Amino acid sequence: MMKASELIQLAAQAREKAYADYSGYKVGAALLAKNGKVYLGCNVENAVYPAGTCAERTAIFSAVADGVREFSKIAIVGGSGDRFAGYAYPCGICRQVMREFCDDSFEIILYDGKKQLKKTLAELLPCSFSKEDLKY
């Protein structure tokens, strides 16, 4: 099983590809699938601001487009310019996209340049709405 520190390293590499010309806030994500594959993502902004997307969704959608839908963890790093700025918590939309494919125990690994912080999806998105709820 891949170590958290390795996944963080890959997220930091992905962050270098971020296209964040408007906010200047660069984010990288490394998503570990249950089959062992890793999918990278960065934020990709746009002159029409809402057309941009986050690093986490880039990684998740890349995996889904590759036919992979089962994930165990994601590492995320973010910050302006060359440095990490605190923990880059996933936004609400990304949390909901995680919920589509991941269960409560899905691990979200954050890194501020010094320390790691691990959260589960259940902690970051309690009382969530998911496809299970559509059955009722």
Query: Which residues are known to be catalytic?
Result: 56
Q: Which of 30, 56, 106, 108 binds ligand THU (CB under 6 A)?
A: 56
CA distance 136 to 57: 28
Contact set for ligand THU, span 80-119 (CB under 6 A) = 90-91, 94
* Nearer to ligand THU (CB atom), residue 32 or residue 53: 53
Binding part of the chain for ligand THU, among 3-11, 47-55, 97-105, 108-116 by CB under 6 A, reads 47-55
Q: Is 77 in the site for ligand THU (CB under 6 A)?
A: no
Q: Which string of DSSP letters, residue by residue, matches 101-118? A: H--TT-EEEEE-SS-EEE
In degrees and rounded to multiples of 5, residue 91 shows phi and psi of -70, 170
CA distance 84 to 10: 14
Q: Among residues 25, 24, 61, which one has the least CA distance to residue 40?
A: 61
Q: Which of 10, 38, 40, 54 binds ligand THU (CB under 6 A)?
A: 54
Q: Report the residue count for the chain.
A: 136
Site residues (CB under 6 A) for ligand THU? 20, 23, 25, 27, 43, 45, 52, 54-56, 90-91, 94
